[in-house]
């Protein structure tokens, strides 16, 4: 079916774009900051997750069926994005930039609060996209297994129960 490959391609392209946005804005902030690496740890972690996401999204952007079997790694990357989102939201609570989901002043320009909120917004969206990609991959793999079992004529037993016949 071509629809699943098209959806996967769109998701991977969006994951790549969002990770690149986070890496660019966050990298600009890291370049301009003069704090210690310990004080900037949450930003460094977010940069590493964004770089890893860019790398994996580029590799899996090619629409072959093996990209669906990588759903466990998609879940791990999604969890990494959720952790980065939590770390950044925790930092936002100690600033004067306003509420977490008050995204009215998101900008890529000269407003530091707007840039920081843009990083938080795209981190949240990246976490969602990687989770959706993992769920689509899981359903695709499960569907292939059930179709293969029907063609093969064998029935997959649940929970390892044995037949008493």
**Confidence at residue 130, expressed as pLDDT on a 0 to 100 scale:** 95
165 vs 114, residue with greater confidence: 114
pLDDT digit string, tens, across residues 12-54: 999 999 999 999 999 999 998 888 888 899 999 999 999 999 9
| 163 has pLDDT over 70 | no
pLDDT digit string, tens, across residues 45-78: 999 999 999 999 998 887 665 667 788 999 999 9
> Average pLDDT, stretch 134-148?
75
Q: With both helix axes pointing from N to C terminus, report the angle between 112-152 and 41-59 in degrees, rounded to the nearest 10.
A: 40
Q: Whole-prediction pTM value? A: 0.80
């Amino acid at each position: 079916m071509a629809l699943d490959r098209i959806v996967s391609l769109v998701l991977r392209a969006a994951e790549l774009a969002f990770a690149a946005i986070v890496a660019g804005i966050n990298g600009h902030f890291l370049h301009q900051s003069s704090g210690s690496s310990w004080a900037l740890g949450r930003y460094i972690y977010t940069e590493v997750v964004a770089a890893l996401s860019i790398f994996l999204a580029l590799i899996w952007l090619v629409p072959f069926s093996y990209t669906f079997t990588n759903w466990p790694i998609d879940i791990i990357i999604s969890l990494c994005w959720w952790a980065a989102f939590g770390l950044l939201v925790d930092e936002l609570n100690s600033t004067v930039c306003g509420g977490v989901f008050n995204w009215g002043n998101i900008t890529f320009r000269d407003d530091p609060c707007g840039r920081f909120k843009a990083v938080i917004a795209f981190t949240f969206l990246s976490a969602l996209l990687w989770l959706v990609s993992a769920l689509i991959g899981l359903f695709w793999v499960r569907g292939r297994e059930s179709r293969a079992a029907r063609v093969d004529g064998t029935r997959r037993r649940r929970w390892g129960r044995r037949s008493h016949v």
